[in-house]
Structure 1
Amino acid sequence: MSTAMTRTTTVTRRVRPGTVALWVVQVVLAAMFVMAALPKLSGDPVMVDMFGAVGAGQWLRYVVGVLELAGAIGLLVPRLCGLAAGGLALLLVGASLTNIFALGASPAIPIGYLLVAAAIAWFRRASIRVAVRR
Structure 2
Amino acid sequence: MTTTTSLRPAATPRPLGRRAHITVWVFQILLALAFAIPSAGPKLVGHWSAAESFDRIGWGDWLMYTVGALELAGAVALVIPVLSSVSATALTALMAGAFVTQLTVFDGQNALTPVLFAVPLVAIARTRRHHNRELLALVLRRRV
TM-score using structure 2 length = 0.80
1:61 aligned to 2:72?
Answer: no
User: What SS class does the counterpart of residue 103 from structure 1 fall into?
Assistant: coil
Gaps of 5+ in 2: 1-16, 140-144
Aligned to 1:25: 27
Q: How does 1:1-134 map to 2 (within 5 A)?
A: 16-35=18-37, 36-104=39-107, 105-133=109-137, 134=139
Cα distance in 2 for residues equivalent to 1:114 and 1:128: 19
What amino acid is aligned across from residue 71 of structure 2 in structure 1? E
Superposed CA RMSD: 1.2
| Structure 1 moving runs of 4+ over 3 Å | none
Q: Deviation per CA, 1:83-126, whole angstroms, max 9, x where unpaired? A: 11011000000000000011212310101101111111010111
Paired residues in the alignment total 120
Q: Percent identity?
A: 35
Displacement, 1:17?
A: 1.0
Gaps of 5+ in 1: 1-14
Cα distance in 1 for residues equivalent to 2:114 and 2:56: 18
TM-score using structure 1 length = 0.85
Larger radius of gyration: 1
